[in-house]
Amino acid sequence: GPSDMHADVVVLGAGPGGYTAAFRAADLGKKVILIERYPTLGGVCLNVGCIPSKALLHAAKVITDADEATAHGIVFGKAQIDLDKLRSWKESVIAKLTKGLKALAKQRKVEVVHGNGKFVTGHSIQVETAEGSKTISFEHCIIAAGSSVTRIPGFPYDDPRLIDSTGALALNDVPQRMLIIGGGIIGLEMATVYSALGSKISVVEWMDQLIPGADPDLVKPLHRRIGKRYEAIYLKTKVTKIEAAEAGLTVTFEGDKAPQPQTYDRILLAVGRRPNGREIGAEAIGIQVNERGFIPVDQQMRTNLPHIFAIGDIAGEPMLAHKATYEGKLAAEVIAGHKVAFDARTIPSVAYTDPEIAWMGLTEKEAIKQGIDYEKAVFPWAASGRAISMAREEGLTQLLLDKTTRRILGAGMTGINAGELIAETVLALEMGADMQDLSLTIHPHPTLSETVLFAAEMAEGTITDLF
């Protein structure tokens, strides 16, 4: 049919994957149209994900640090929280970034079309805009339509007290008693925020540990700390029923250690996210979508239709922003004719909880499963001068290395700023660094980054003094 607009590259979805792909394609000389159903760019990450959660976690850290300083003779008193002001500060953080993106799109002459988009043919997408329906045709398309929250069927979702991560980030109020369903990264980050703000938190997780993807040793210090602060943590337990009444939401649990039914003021459901693969008309034009809703891609991010690409959450696990941006850049470069492919050694994971947990490369479990002859070096932060002087000694830094080559295979750390510290080990893995490389690299003293050096020295048997 007739097309209202045409572009070399059409990008569907303006999250971290989509805007990165659009900007890179434009920088490589392509005419680009970026389609986004929401009024702002940035997707889940900027609007209702990574960024607002980190703004609120910053506030939580200020409260907690002030609170704990009492033990060192500095007394601030109980934090007074102006929720309206905190909320509008968080909104201003988002606005700064989404406005920045808008300007960057304009600078590059990336045309943004707002509205819901669906494929109509293998070379066109129809967008329902405020000014009516528009057909946009393309040579190449990059699908970056992301993911949505997963729901457990049968819960009373029309009750405003049952919220998802977006509802939790809205920060409408601070409930007295809050249950978090799902002990993964998103649930525990929100627990960190609401606990600092004054809510009594309970967490229920179906698996046998919090943050099920992470090494159990890394999770222990977090579990120990929040176990003291939260009302309850139920593992190997699931919620089977939520009943809404005026007094609250009454929850029925199931499992060996399941408690009696409990009533909460607020429930946050954080049991994962599902890709939006089935919501964009992809199957109708012959794009393969798997049973979970992911769109399978090859090493160059191509779907089964070679001129259509998929990136970010919709293209597979792990659903992380830094994976989406890496893939977005890659897809744009492939379209521009560069001979590039996905060959990153690892995608690091970070839980921005208190303490933080970060890991990359192989976990010990995976090394065992793959029959790799590995060695493990663990440096406890209780022997780090910097950790002690920050009164946060509960952390650890752990390196996994190949016994024969001495090369780094994986790393994990728990403690404040673990999310920043993991980057050095990611570079080490990308560069094929061995324990000598790490142990002969002079690290500044006293820093938490030294814990990587110390762990490598432990592996080498060259560690002398601690602290």
Q: What residues line the site for ligand FAD (CB under 6 A)?
A: 12-18, 35-38, 43-45, 49-50, 53, 116-117, 144-147, 165, 186, 276, 280, 312-314, 319-322, 324, 352
According to DSSP H, which parts of 43-140 are helical? 43-48, 50-68, 83-107
362 neighbors 400 (Cβ within 8 angstroms): yes
Give dist(CA 79, CA 75) in Å, integer.
11
CB nearer to ligand FAD: pick between 353 and 384: 353
According to DSSP H, which parts of 305-443 are helical? 321-335, 364-369, 385-389, 418-430, 435-439
Q: What's the one-letter identity of residue 301?
A: M
In the complex, minimum distance from the CB of residue 14 to ligand FAD, in angstroms, rounded to a whole number: 5
CB nearer to ligand FAD: pick between 61 and 322: 322
CB nearer to ligand FAD: pick between 145 and 180: 145
Active site residue 6: no
325 neighbors 20 (Cβ within 8 angstroms): yes
Residue 308 is inside which H or E element, if any? strand 308-310
Who's near 344: CB < 8 A, 6+ residues apart?
326, 430
In the complex, minimum distance from the CB of residue 319 to ligand FAD, in angstroms, rounded to a whole number: 4
CB nearer to ligand FAD: pick between 118 and 177: 118
Q: What's the one-letter identity of residue 147?
A: S
In the complex, minimum distance from the CB of residue 13 to ligand FAD, in angstroms, rounded to a whole number: 3
In the complex, minimum distance from the CB of residue 134 to ligand FAD, in angstroms, rounded to a whole number: 12
Q: Please, what is the angle between helix 50-68 and helix 185-197, to 10°?
A: 40
Say which of 6, 58, 223, 445 is annotated catalytic.
445
In the complex, minimum distance from the CB of residue 41 to ligand FAD, in angstroms, rounded to a whole number: 8
Give dist(CA 235, CA 177) in Å, integer.
19
Q: What's the one-letter identity of residue 343?
A: D
CB nearer to ligand FAD: pick between 345 and 443: 345
Give dist(CA 78, CA 76) in Å, integer.
7
133 neighbors 127 (Cβ within 8 angstroms): yes
Phi/psi region, residue 224 (left: phi>0; alpha: psi -120 to 50; beta: rest), is alpha
CB nearer to ligand FAD: pick between 174 and 463: 174
Give dist(CA 262, CA 248) in Å, integer.
9
Catalytic residues: 445
